[in-house]
Amino acid sequence: MDNLYFYVGIIGNIISVLMFLSPVKTFWRIVQKKSTEEFECLPYICTLLNSSLWTYYGITKPGSYLVATVNGFGILVEIVYISLFLIYAPPTTRAKTAKLAGILDVFVFAVAVLVTQFGMEGDMRIDVVGFMGAALNIIMYASPLTVMKLVVTTKSVEYMPFLLSLFLFLNGGVWTLYAFLVDDWFLGVPNGTGFVLGFAQLVIYLIYRKSKPFKTISDGLQHEHLLPSSTSNGIESV
């Protein structure tokens, strides 16, 4: 039982990896069509920042290597996604994406690391990094609320992929349990939020999965709305 948190963390890592990989189908479509169509890159840019902060948190806090490893994987995956987006996006979108990635994933993250490394130490550094990661994670977990509203309005689950909702639910639940076992509310609060919202998405999916669309949805809308892998504990991430 003393090692229960370790096994729960391993399960959480596996689920988070599946969350990070859930957009693969979307990017395979982008590569095949050589176009990003109406897809947005902001979710991936935010997930990269989220994964970077949690990796930093996992490295900074003793005994949190399970958090660092899965989010380190998330960093690599999100870099691939953003790179593909930059390759196939039209010039205007490419410039906007590069600018956002530079500001959020390079500048903001670098400032966070420099301020906490040179301006803080010990528990204060860990708490500040954990707070930033938790705040960003809650925002990311809350992002599907717009998709849930769209499903209720249109009576169509086309834009709320079942597997992503399932992984969100499982990821939030496992990492909430892990946070409880290691007494880490920075992990517990955002993942508890993800667990609740993931459950709500599954309920809405079951209600409307066989419903006929209330109105025709334009082909120009985004075909898939993404968090986080998860999610990755972020864990999609933690």
pLDDT digit string (tens) for 166-187?
888 898 899 999 999 988 989 9
Q: Is the pLDDT of residue 223 over 70?
A: no
H/E stretch holding 166: helix 162-182
Does a structural domain hold residue 221? no
Question: Residue 113 — pLDDT band, cuts 50, 70, 90?
Answer: very high
Q: What mean pLDDT, rounded, does the chain reach?
A: 82
Percent of the chain with pLDDT over 90: 32
Provide mean pLDDT across the span 118-128.
Answer: 88
Per the structure block, which two tokens stand in for 43? 């979710």
Rounded to 5°, the CA angle 183-109-121 comes to 55
C-alpha 163, offset from chain centre: 14
Does a structural domain hold residue 231? no
pLDDT on residue 141: 76
Does a structural domain hold residue 133? yes
What's the length of the chain?
Answer: 238
Does a structural domain hold residue 218? no
Does a structural domain hold residue 228? no
pLDDT on residue 128: 92
Q: Is the pLDDT of residue 204 over 80?
A: yes
Does a structural domain hold residue 19? yes
Question: Residue 165 — pLDDT band, cuts 50, 70, 90?
Answer: confident
pTM given for the model: 0.79
- Cβ-based neighbours of 10, under 8 Å, separated by 6 or more: 66
Residue 204 or residue 39, greater confidence? 204
Q: Is the pLDDT of residue 93 over 60?
A: yes
Does a structural domain hold residue 214? no
Give the number of domains in the chain. 1
Q: Is the pLDDT of residue 72 over 90?
A: yes
Does a structural domain hold residue 165? yes
Provide mean pLDDT across the span 117-123.
Answer: 86
Per the structure block, which two tokens stand in for 125? 């550094």
Query: Domain span at residue 62?
Result: 4-208
- Cβ-based neighbours of 68, under 8 Å, separated by 6 or more: 54, 55, 57, 58, 59
C-alpha 105, offset from chain centre: 14
User: Of 165, 146, 220, which is closest to residue 22 (Cα–Cα)?
Assistant: 165
Question: Residue 54 — pLDDT band, cuts 50, 70, 90?
Answer: very high
Give the Cα separation of 75 and 203 in Å (integer).
31
Residue 95 or residue 163, greater confidence? 95
User: Of 47-51, 54-58, 98-102, 167-171, where does mean pLDDT reach its minimum?
Assistant: 167-171
Q: Is the pLDDT of residue 233 over 70?
A: no
